[in-house]
Structure 1
C-alpha cells in the first residue's frame, strides 16, 4: 500500500523522467503477475480491460474522497481530472480508461454484472484495521478512516461486498474525518511532493492549494452527452434530466 501511494505521488508530482522510469518498472512487474480468479477465470495484470478498471477506480477513489471529505468538486473539475490523467494512463497501458465523469459511470454500469464478492476484500480490511498505522493511543482512530474509505463506494458495491451499516461512519466519526482532512488540506508542508513540484516549476509554494472558481450551474452540471446531471450523494448514482 505504501508503494502504491508512493507511485501515485511520483506519477502526479514527480519530474517526468523519474515518473516515466518508475512507471516502466511497475509495468515490468505487472508483466510477471498472472493467475486465476476464485471462479476459475484466468487473468493477467497487463490485460487492457483490467488496467482500465484499476486506473478508473483509483482515480474515482482519490476524487470521491476529496469531494466528500474535503471540498465539493464541480463537474468541470471532475472531467478535468480524468482528462489530465490520460497521458499517465497510457503509460501504464490503460488505453481505454475513462476520460470523463460520464465515461466513468458508463464503465461502472458495464462492470456491474461482472463484479463478484471475494473474501480477499474483507481480509484486506481486517489487515488495514489491525496494522498500527497511527501511533499508540491514536491507533483506535484508524477505523474511522477505514470506514470513510468504504463509505464512498457506490451503494451497489457495498451491498455486493456485504459491507453493511457497521461500515457506515457515525456522526462524530464523519466530523472527525472531515476536520482532519480540512487540517491536512490547509497545511503547506515544504517537504510535500506537491510543494516540491511547485518549486521545481518556479511557482509559489501554495499554488496547488488555491481553488478556482467554478461556473454557476446550481446543483447541476453538464455531462458529455448534453444532459443536465446531478449526483445523488446517498448512492453515487447519476441522475440525468433533459435540459429545461
Structure 2
C-alpha cells in the first residue's frame, strides 16, 4: 500500500538509487530522512498541511482552482507525496530539476479570490506559508503519532528544509519553532473557515487511498490530522478533532509499526543504496553517525 502511494499511476517511476554517490538536498543523518520514511506521518501530516493551506483565502483559491484535488484526489496526493520524497531523498540534481519545473507551473497560477483579492503562486508570502504548513504538518504528525521529538530535533528539521524552500522561492520559511510560532501568529488573522475545507476533508475520507478493509483507519487518520492543528486554528476553522484515548494508542502503534517498515523499492531505501549505505540504515537508529 505504501509503495502504491509513492508511485503515482501514469508517471514514470523515479529511481532514487541513481546516480551513485550523489548527495541529496538533505543529508542521510538528518531528522528529515527519519520523518519522511514513515508513510503514516506523511499522510496525516500532508492532510494537516493542506487544511492549513486552504485556510488562507489566496492559497485556497490557487490550490482549489488550479489543481486536480476534486477530480483526482488520490493521484494528486500521490504526486504531492512523490514531490516531498524527491525533495528529501533524491539526488540533488533531480530535486533541483523537479523544483524548477514546479516553479514554472506556479508562474501560471494567478487570479483573484471570491472577495476579489489578487493572488499569485509566486508570491513569497504565500510560498512561505505553504512551506511553513508542510513543515508543521509532517513534524507534528511524526511527533504525535510515531516518536516524540526534542526541541533540538524540531529545530534541525526546520533548518534542513531551508535549501529546498529557497529553491521554491520561500526565502522566509521558518528556521526554528520560534519562527514557526511567530509566522502562525502573523497569519492567524487572515485564516478563515470555508466550505472548500470541508469538501476537501470529505473527499479525502472517501477517496480510495487505502483498500476498502482499511478505510476506517483512513478516516481515523484524517481526524488525527485535524487533532494536530493548533487549537486556535481549529477554533477559527470550526473543525472538530476529538480522538478517544484508544484511538490515539492505535495510531501510535500503527505509526511505530510503519516506522519499522522497510520498503526496499521505496525512496528511502533506494537513496541509501545510492549513497552506499545499508538499506537498514534509517531503521537502526543507534547506528546513525554524523556524516561529513
TM-score by length of 2: 0.69
Q: Which residue pairs with 1:74 in the alignment?
A: 150
Larger relative contact order (Cα-Cα within 8 Å, sequence gap ≥ 6): 2
Shift of 1:98: 0.8
Change in Cα spacing, 1:212 to 1:97, as seen in structure 2 (3 Å) is farther
For residues 31-71 of structure 1, what are the alpha-carbon distances to aligned partners after superposition, in whole Å with 9 as ceiling and x for unaligned?
Answer: 11112223321110110000000001101100000000000
Q: d(CA) in 2 for partners of 1:177 and 1:84?
A: 27
* Contact 1:78/1:100 (<8 A) preserved: yes
Could you say which structure has the larger radius of gyration? Answer: 1
For residues 58-85 of structure 1, what are the alpha-carbon distances to aligned partners after superposition, in whole Å with 9 as ceiling and x for unaligned?
Answer: 0110000000000000111011111111
RMSD between aligned alpha carbons? 1.5
In structure 2, runs of 5+ residues without a counterpart are 1-76, 288-292
Q: Which residue pairs with 2:29 in the alignment?
A: none
Q: Which residue pairs with 1:204 in the alignment?
A: 278
Q: d(CA) in 2 for partners of 1:211 and 1:119?
A: 43
The question of 1:14 aligning with 2:72 is answered no
Shift of 1:212: 6.5
Q: d(CA) in 2 for partners of 1:41 and 1:147?
A: 31
Q: Which residue pairs with 1:235 in the alignment?
A: none
Aligned residues between the structures = 211
The question of 1:96 aligning with 2:172 is answered yes
Secondary structure in 2 matching 1:35: strand
Question: Which of 238, 263, 275 is equivalent to 1:189?
Answer: 263
Shift of 1:138: 2.1
* Contact 1:144/1:174 (<8 A) preserved: no
Q: d(CA) in 2 for partners of 1:203 and 1:46?
A: 37
Q: Which moved more, 1:131-140 or 1:104-113?
A: 131-140
In structure 1, runs of 5+ residues without a counterpart are 214-244
Question: As a proportion of its length, which structure holds more helix?
Answer: 2
Q: Which moved more, 1:42-51 or 1:188-197?
A: 188-197
Question: As a proportion of its length, which structure holds more strand?
Answer: 1
